[in-house]
Structure 1
């Protein structure tokens, strides 16, 4: 039986619907992440996660005996995950056998994001709004919402009780959208016609930008271009297309409203 090599790095993977990002961590260091090891690959270019990992090892010249996979989907008993908006089905033991690794561990991506929050230094945080930044881990009772848009909308909770951290895994991104303004109502009406039930994720994600753009174009009576999320973002950044600017502003406003609702819920 091979003796585990604890000095060897651990492979980290952030697996979403569009991209998979890899990095290596040396757990013997004060700052484990090996910064020059980070690479991004498009999911559609590979038939499986194992294939993408082999490409990463080939590109970097590194190997790793262990892996921790943070995946955008519900992890079933720590063994399998079907990633939302991604054709891959990932099973920990199968991946471990395919790659000849000592261990492979699966975790929900936003559970992993929540686990990272207590590790953040104060100078790594930015305040949004008038309230001062909290000091992490210095109070017995603290509650946090952890959320972020990508291919979908990830949501997790993080609780500190009696000095211990607990992560709450959720599917909060699929909660129903609550309209707060007259424009929200018009957007909801158009998305409801297209999709039926409208979740927060229909707007707060990459494809959500396109959904909002099409809805706002219809509300304004303007012809809509066949833009991708990247097109909309690029035109908003340059200010070359006022409708794209409005789309990004609208997404940010809805994101803020949803964040506030989640804070009230938790």
Structure 2
């Protein structure tokens, strides 16, 4: 199909998570019409997109985008895409056809974040601990929200190549007796206790429930925001321990990721949970556990870690997806 896109036709970019779908229109290098919708309010991805386009006045033919790039919270390995923590599943090619787009790119949400990281304002990056980034060396990323995302950014010649994987589903690593007891509790519920089973919104509740069981306390039906709020208020001892353990376990995972990638360019933390924890995170054992790698403690002490505070950062990466290389699935 011949493209009818003009210089004034916007592109649609969208970060589709397990809970929220974040949309914007891209006009040249500028974003506007940013809107966040609840995924649960729509039966499928196309319904959410059409609602957004109508809401921002971009549904009519003369204003409608002809190209799009979508970041998806789940593996993107072929035409059929199934979200890990939401019920939506769809065909990339059928989605393009239903939207009447000329071009539609799909990629993992943390691949999009990896594409963004070099373009984030320095003022939006909060350092945690010491270290100094080395130029032209790999960068590591992870972040907890509805799920747990993991990626990296690798320098190759004049380009930076983002990684696409499912590192949030690696087996959880524990370091002390208390964590081993929690892991035993979780094994009663899950045949495989992945990192995401504790390092996510639902993971915070899993930690709380497991700690209640160890304490012989009947757990309350808390939501992830309940756990973090009570921890920040210091109104619930078990919630405080759950958040403290979350931070420590995230530090262990982050150290593993940096060792795997040789990420002397730094570790960047995104997602919806950590940026909201404030001093609970910066004063936690995250950095201690990040560096707690025996003979490689000095290696990790040299690597800086940052919390990303940029609003909707994956959209910045998606804006570069139309022209920069990286793993993706282009709908036929």
* TM-score strictly above 0.5: yes
Q: What's the counterpart of residue 165 of structure 1? A: 160
Q: What's the counterpart of residue 74 of structure 1? A: 75
State the 1:245 CA deviation. Answer: 2.2
Structure 2 runs not aligned, ≥5 long: 59-63, 262-332
Partner Cα separation in structure 1 for residue 68 and residue 87 of structure 2: 20
Pair 1:240-2:238 in alignment:
no
Q: 1:16–1:84: 8 Å Cα contact kept in structure 2? A: no
Pair 1:19-2:17 in alignment:
no
Pair 1:40-2:16 in alignment:
no
TM-score (norm 2): 0.72
Q: What's the counterpart of residue 112 of structure 2? A: 112
Q: What's the counterpart of residue 92 of structure 1? A: 92
Partner Cα separation in structure 2 for residue 197 and residue 241 of structure 1: 29
Q: 1:10–1:25: 8 Å Cα contact kept in structure 2? A: yes
User: What SS is found at the alignment partner of 2:246?
Assistant: helix
State the 1:76 CA deviation. Answer: 2.4
User: What SS is found at the alignment partner of 1:178?
Assistant: coil
RMSD, matched Cα: 1.8
Q: What's the counterpart of residue 203 of structure 2? A: 208
State the 1:33 CA deviation. Answer: 2.2
State the 1:61 CA deviation. Answer: 2.0
Partner Cα separation in structure 2 for residue 255 and residue 98 of structure 1: 40
Q: 1:251 aligns with which of 234, 237, 246?
A: 246
Matched ranges for 1:139-150 at <5 A: 139=135, 141-150=136-145
Q: 1:80–1:106: 8 Å Cα contact kept in structure 2? A: no
Q: 2:4–2:66: 8 Å Cα contact kept in structure 1? A: no
Q: What's the counterpart of residue 171 of structure 2? A: 176
TM-score (norm 1): 0.89
Q: Which consecutive segments of 4 or more residues in structure 1 shift more than 6 A? A: none
State the 1:2 CA deviation. Answer: 5.6
Q: What's the counterpart of residue 189 of structure 1? A: 184
State the 1:204 CA deviation. Answer: 0.4
Provide, for residues 13-41 of structure 1, a one-character-per-residue CA deviation record: whole Å limited to 9, x for no partner. Answer: 11122221111222x23xx222xx22222
Partner Cα separation in structure 1 for residue 156 and residue 40 of structure 2: 42
Partner Cα separation in structure 2 for residue 223 and residue 80 of structure 1: 42
Q: 1:233–1:248: 8 Å Cα contact kept in structure 2? A: yes
Structure 1 runs not aligned, ≥5 long: none
Q: 1:142–1:161: 8 Å Cα contact kept in structure 2? A: no
Partner Cα separation in structure 1 for residue 49 and residue 243 of structure 2: 34
How many pairs are equivalent? 255
Pair 1:153-2:148 in alignment:
yes
Partner Cα separation in structure 2 for residue 207 and residue 215 of structure 1: 12
CA 1:12–1:232: 2 relative to 1, 3 Å: same
User: What SS is found at the alignment partner of 1:146?
Assistant: strand
Q: 1:147–1:154: 8 Å Cα contact kept in structure 2? A: yes
